[in-house]
Amino acid sequence: MFHMARRIDNTALRAINTTMTRRGISQRDLAEETLIPLSTLHRRLVGASPLTIDEFISICMALDINAGRLMQALAAEQRTAMGQAS
C-alpha cells in the first residue's frame, strides 16, 4: 500500500514539475505565489517530503492545473498498476 502512495506522489510531482518547466516558472516564483516557504517547496518538489493536500491544491491553483482531473488520472494509474500486480 505504501508503495502505491509513493508512486502517486511521484506522478503528481512529475506533472507539477513538467508544468513548471513548460511555463518557465521557477520554484521561487511558485513559492511566492503559493506562500509556501521556498525551502519547504523545494523539498516537496524533489520528493524529499510529501505534499500536503493544502499544498497540492495551492500549487495546482497557482499553476492553473485542474486538481480534480489530476487526481482522477492518478487514481486511474493506481488502478492500472494494481491490476498489473495481480
Cβ(59)–Cβ(51) under 8 Å?
yes
Q: Quick check: 6 and 13 in contact, CB under 8 A?
A: no
Minimal CA–CA distance to 70: which of 16, 2, 6, 4?
Answer: 16
The whole domain housing 28 covers 2-85
Model pTM? 0.77
Please give the grid coordinates belonging to residue 23. 511555463
The string of DSSP letters for 17-28 reads HHHHHHHT--HH
How would you write the pLDDT of the chain (86 residues) with one tens digit per residue?
Answer: 344 444 557 888 888 999 999 999 999 999 999 999 999 999 999 999 988 889 999 999 999 998 888 888 777 877 887 776 65
Q: CATH number for the domain including 33?
A: 1.10.260.40
> In the chain, how many domains are there?
1
